[in-house]
C-alpha cells in the first residue's frame, strides 16, 4: 500500500442532528472513550466553526473569545469531501445541524450515521434524510438536559437517551459504552493494528509513536501531555536525526520535536494526507495571501496570529509560500487554529528567534524552544 494512498474501506461515521442537540459534546465524549480503548481513529470537523477538543476543554471565556463561525462554501465542502475520500484512519465526522443539498456531498462520502436530536421532529427529519441518501443509521439518540439516561434498544439499531450534553462535560454511562461498542465493531481492526501498519510505512528509519514514548518515560499520566514533559521527550529523542512522528500529541509537542529534529528530515502523520513533511515556507515582507497574518509586538515578544480565511488550506498549494519577516531580536508566539503541518513549518521557518512558544487554548503559551536561560522549554508564559 502506498503511504499516501486512500483507504476507502475504513468507516467514516457522521454524527448528525438538529442544531443545539449536543453533537460536538457527543463526538468529543465518544472519541475520548475510543482513545482509552486504543481504537485508532480521527475526528474530522466537517462544520466550519473551527472547533476541536479545545472547545470542550478550555474555559468558557476562552472558547467564546476565539470561536469563529464559518460558512459552508463550495471550497469548504470540496476539501471535506477530499479528506473523506483519502482517509487513512477510521473517521468520526462532526457535521452541521441542517442538511442541505449543497452539503449532501459530504454525507455521500460517509459510510454510517449517528443521529442525535432533542425533538421527535428533528429525529424524523434526519431519519428521512439518511433514508434518501441510503446512509445506514447505527444509532438514534435522544438529547435532554435533565432526566435520566436510558437504553431503549441495542438491536437492530442502538436507541437511547443521553442527558446533559453541555459544553465542558464528558458523557459516560451505559448508552455511551454501547455506542462505543457499535462504532468499534465497524472498525474491524484490532487495537493498534492500523497504527503498526502506518509505522511500518514511515519514510525514515526512526518512527516515533508518541503513545509508546509516553508509556516508556511514564509521562502523560492523566491521559494528556503536559508542557513540563517536553524536556523529557526531547532528551529521549536524538537531536538532528531524521524522525517520523506518529500519534496524538499537542500542537506544542509537535512543534518542539520538529525544531529538535532540524536540520534533519522531520515527517509527521496526518489522518487526511498520510506521511508528510512540514510546510515549506520562505520569509518575505508580507507573507502568503492564502493566510491572514497579524503581528502584536511588545518590547520582548512578537505574537504572530495566523488565520485561514477559507477554513481549509490545501497542503500542496501552500508549499513554498511566503511567511512574513519578523523582528528576530525577541521571542515569538505562534497563535492560530492551524493544521499541525503548517504549525511545524512555521516553527522551523522561525527557528532562529531567541525563543519560540505555541498557543494552545487549554493551556496558554507553551515554550517549545529557547536560547535564553531565563525562558525554559516547557514553561507556560
Q: What is the pLDDT of residues 368-381, one digit of tens each?
A: 999 999 999 999 99
> Which fold does the domain 12-187 belong to in CATH?
Rossmann fold (3.40.50)
pLDDT of 48: 60
pLDDT of 31: 93
**CA torsion 181→182→185→189, rounded to 10°?**
-70
pLDDT of 187: 81
pLDDT value at 67 more than 50: no
Shortest CA distance to 37 belongs to which of 90, 109, 83? 90
Please tell me the distance from the alpha carbon of residue 202 to that of residue 185, in angstroms, as a whole number. Answer: 27
pLDDT of 313: 83
- Measured CA distances, 200 to 1, 35, 61, 196, 246 (Å): 11, 21, 43, 6, 11
Let me know if 275 is exposed, middle or buried by CB neighbors in 10 A (0-12, 13-18, 19+): buried
Shortest CA distance to 254 belongs to which of 239, 264, 269? 269
Q: Which residue has the higher pLDDT, 333 or 322?
A: 333
For 273-315, the pLDDT digits (tens) are 999 999 989 888 777 778 999 999 999 999 999 998 876 788 9
Quick check: bond before 156 cis, omega within 30?
yes
Mean pLDDT of the chain: 87
- Domain chopping of the chain, boundaries: 12-187, 202-370
Shortest CA distance to 334 belongs to which of 289, 369, 372? 369
Please tell me the distance from the alpha carbon of residue 194 to that of residue 255, in angstroms, as a whole number. Answer: 25
pLDDT value at 235 more than 90: yes
In this prediction the pTM is: 0.75
Which residues touch 276 (CB under 8 Å, ≥6 apart)?
4, 267, 268, 269, 270, 315, 341
pLDDT value at 2 more than 90: no
pLDDT of 146: 84
Asked which of 101-105, 144-148, 243-247 is least confident by mean pLDDT, the reply is: 101-105
Q: Which cell numbers in the block locate residue 63?
A: 472558547
H or E segment and range at residue 104: helix 104-108
Shortest CA distance to 252 belongs to which of 373, 334, 311, 313? 334
Which residues touch 258 (CB under 8 Å, ≥6 apart)?
245, 266, 268, 278, 344, 347, 348
End-to-end, the C-alpha distance of the chain in Å comes to 44
Which residues touch 104 (CB under 8 Å, ≥6 apart)?
133
Let me know if 27 is exposed, middle or buried by CB neighbors in 10 A (0-12, 13-18, 19+): buried
Between β-strands 150-153 and 137-144, what pairing exists: parallel, antiparallel or unpaired?
unpaired
Q: How does DSSP classify residue 380?
A: B
Percent of the chain with pLDDT over 70: 89
pLDDT band at 65 (very low <50, low <70, confident <90, very high): very low
Q: Is the Cα torsion angle 349, 352, 353, 359 positive or negative in sign?
A: positive
pLDDT value at 96 more than 90: no
Please tell me the distance from the alpha carbon of residue 97 to that of residue 89, in angstroms, as a whole number. Answer: 24
Which residues touch 225 (CB under 8 Å, ≥6 apart)?
214, 219, 249, 250, 253
Amino acid at each position: 500500500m502506498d503511504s499516501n494512498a486512500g483507504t476507502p474501506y475504513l468507516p467514516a461515521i457522521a454524527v448528525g442532528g438538529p442544531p443545539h442537540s449536543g453533537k460536538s459534546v457527543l463526538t468529543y465524549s465518544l472519541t475520548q472513550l475510543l482513545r482509552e480503548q486504543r481504537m485508532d481513529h480521527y475526528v474530522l470537523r466537517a462544520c466550519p466553526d473551527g472547533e476541536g477538543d479545545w472547545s470542550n476543554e478550555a474555559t468558557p471565556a476562552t472558547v467564546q473569545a476565539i470561536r469563529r463561525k464559518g460558512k459552508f462554501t463550495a471550497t469548504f465542502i470540496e476539501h471535506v469531501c477530499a479528506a473523506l475520500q483519502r482517509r487513512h484512519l477510521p473517521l468520526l465526522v462532526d457535521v452541521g445541524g441542517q442538511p442541505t443539498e449543497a452539503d449532501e456531498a459530504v454525507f455521500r462520502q460517509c459510510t454510517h450515521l449517528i443521529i442525535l436530536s432533542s425533538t421527535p421532529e428533528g429525529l424524523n427529519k434526519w431519519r428521512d434524510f439518511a433514508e434518501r441518501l441510503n446512509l445506514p443509521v447505527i444509532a438514534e439518540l435522544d438529547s435532554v438536559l435533565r432526566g435520566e439516561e436510558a437504553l431503549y434498544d441495542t438491536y437492530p439499531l442502538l436507541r437511547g437517551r443521553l442527558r446533559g450534553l453541555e459544553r465542558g462535560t464528558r458523557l459516560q454511562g451505559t448508552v455511551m459504552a454501547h455506542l462505543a461498542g457499535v462504532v468499534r465493531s465497524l472498525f474491524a481492526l484490532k487495537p493498534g493494528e492500523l497504527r503498526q501498519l502506518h509505522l511500518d510505512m514511515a519514510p525514515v528509519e526512526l518512527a516515533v509513536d508518541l503513545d509508546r514514548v509516553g508509556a516508556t518515560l511514564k509521562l502523560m499520566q492523566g491521559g494528556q501531555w503536559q508542557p513540563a514533559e517536553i524536556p523529557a521527550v526531547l532528551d529521549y529523542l536524538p537531536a538532528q536525526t531524521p524522525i517520523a512522528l506518529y500519534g496524538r500529541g499537542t500542537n506544542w509537542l509537535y512543534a518542539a520535536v520538529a525544531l529538535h529534529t532540524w536540520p534533519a528530515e522531520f515527517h509527521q502523520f496526518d489522518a487526511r494526507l498520510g506521511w508528510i513533511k512540514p510546510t515549506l515556507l520562505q520569509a518575505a515582507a508580507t507573507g502568503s495571501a492564502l493566510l491572514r497574518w497579524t503581528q502584536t509586538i511588545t518590547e520582548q515578544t512578537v505574537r504572530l496570529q495566523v488565520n485561514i480565511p477559507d477554513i481549509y488550506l490545501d497542503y500542496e498549494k501552500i508549499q513554498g509560500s511566503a511567511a512574513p519577516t519578523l523582528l528576530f531580536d525577541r521571542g515569538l508566539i505562534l497563535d492560530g487554529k492551524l493544521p499541525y503541518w503548517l504549525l511545524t513549518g512555521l516553527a522551523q521557518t522561525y527557528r532562529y528567534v531567541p525563543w519560540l512558544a505555541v498557543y494552545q487554548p487549554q493551556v496558554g503559551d507553551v515554550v517549545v524552544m529557547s536560547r535564553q536561560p531565563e525562558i525554559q522549554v516547557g514553561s507556560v508564559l
